[in-house]
Amino acid sequence: MNDFLKLEGVSMHFPIRKFGKRTRYVHAMDDVSFSLKKGEILSLVGESGSGKTTTARVIAKVYTPTSGNVFVNGNLVSKKMHTSKLKEYRQRVQMIFQDPFSSLNPTKRVRSILSRPFVLYKSMSNSKEIRQAERDVLEVVGLTPTDFYLDKFPHELSGGQRQRVGIARAISVEPDLILADEPTSMLDVSIRLSIMNTLLKLKEERNISYLYITHDLAGARYVSDRIIVMYAGMIMEIGPAEELIQHPLHPYTQLLKRAAPSPETGFNKKKLGYVGEVPSLISPPKACRFSPRCPFAMEKCSKEIPPLYEIGDRKVRCFLYEKSNQENVRFDES
């Protein structure tokens, strides 16, 4: 299979302005490389401040990365794009947002929100034609009767319904890739699954690829083929979903797994204890960013940034997996 999306050493540093001079930077995203195949769902898992949303926004060309390259379909996505090129790019890459309350303009009805993709990309101007196209796409995302929803304002809809409108807007463009930025985290538990299922259905029917961003390891397991774990702006581990979750290699992934709620194991679960907090991303030191909290930290970890070691079809950024250390690897089977 071909890589549809590829990131090579992408970094995003946001300047902190003081007196107009840029002296310090927030390293929101550092040396991020990964690829995504056509029709694949790749999850980006991490806590807040891990850089997962920044990654999505760099790919969506909301931010221009400080360094590194993004390729779509084998073509380099240049920093400054000509308008027509950009439009072509936008048609391939769309986004679904975390907050369904703020991602729809409160002054517009569903009908006018959904008409834009058709006007912009299908050159439709006939209002009857547009209305029919809108009905079709609402049908696809499960908002029926469609005419009922077309006349609603966002504030008249529930969170789940709004999120469906957001999905409808994204797929109307007929993109190849959808960046889904925590699409269920602000929704009620009872409707999260049906939104995830809608995304899965669209993948199967339309061969849409997803970059699915989430902080919920179990949710990532439910939807994705592969998982990337990010921490403090860097990729810590990449691997096939089931394998990564059942046998996490990186100490951080292990921590994430142990912290996740799991009614199955209940009270007999091992206690976590105090494990520290996420470091500041303002000019971080040259070191493994997880080392201050890592139970296995070695001297080396606070001196240099470990590379991503390849182990079979997995990658992990941890010195434990350096060739010379491989015998000592301790798997955490919690």
**Nearer Cβ to other proteins, position 267 or 331?**
267
**Nearer Cβ to other proteins, position 153 or 296?**
153
Q: How far is the CB of 6 from other proteins (least distance, A)?
A: 20
* Contact pattern for other proteins over residues 236 through 275, marking x by CB under 8 A: ---------xx--------xxxxxxxxxxxxx-x-xxxxx
Distance CA 314, CA 139 (A): 39
C-alpha closest to that of 174 among 118, 111, 125: 118
Q: Which of residues 294-323 bind other proteins (CB under 8 A)?
A: none
**Nearer Cβ to other proteins, position 36 or 177?**
177
**Nearer Cβ to other proteins, position 192 or 309?**
192
Q: Which residues contact 322 (CB under 8 A, 6 or more apart)?
A: 306, 309
Torsion angle defined by CA atoms of residues 43, 38, 132 and 195, in that order, rounded to the nearest 10 degrees: -20
DSSP string, 138-155: HHHTT--SHHHHHT--GG
**Residue 169: exposed, middle, or buried by beta-carbon count in 10 A (0-12, 13-18, 19+)?**
buried
Residue with tokens 């006349």: 151
Q: Which of residues 155-214 bind other proteins (CB under 8 A)?
A: 158-161, 166, 169, 173, 188-194, 196-197
Q: How far is the CB of 272 from other proteins (least distance, A)?
A: 5
Q: Which of residues 35-94 bind other proteins (CB under 8 A)?
A: 47-48, 57, 60-62, 86-87, 90-91, 93-94
Q: How far is the CB of 99 from other proteins (least distance, A)?
A: 6
In this structure, how many other beta carbons lie within 10 angstroms of the beta carbon of residue 46? Answer: 26
C-alpha closest to that of 156 among 213, 107, 98, 94: 107
Window of 30-38, 114-122, 232-240, 283-291 that interacts with other proteins by CB under 8 A: 114-122
Pairing of strands 41-45, 226-231: parallel
Q: Which of residues 3-22 bind other proteins (CB under 8 A)?
A: 18-20
**Nearer Cβ to other proteins, position 34 or 290?**
290
Q: How far is the CB of 249 from other proteins (least distance, A)?
A: 16
Q: How far is the CB of 68 from other proteins (least distance, A)?
A: 20
CA distances, 155 to each of 69, 96, 160, 184, 259 (Å): 39, 18, 12, 18, 35
Q: How far is the CB of 308 from other proteins (least distance, A)?
A: 22
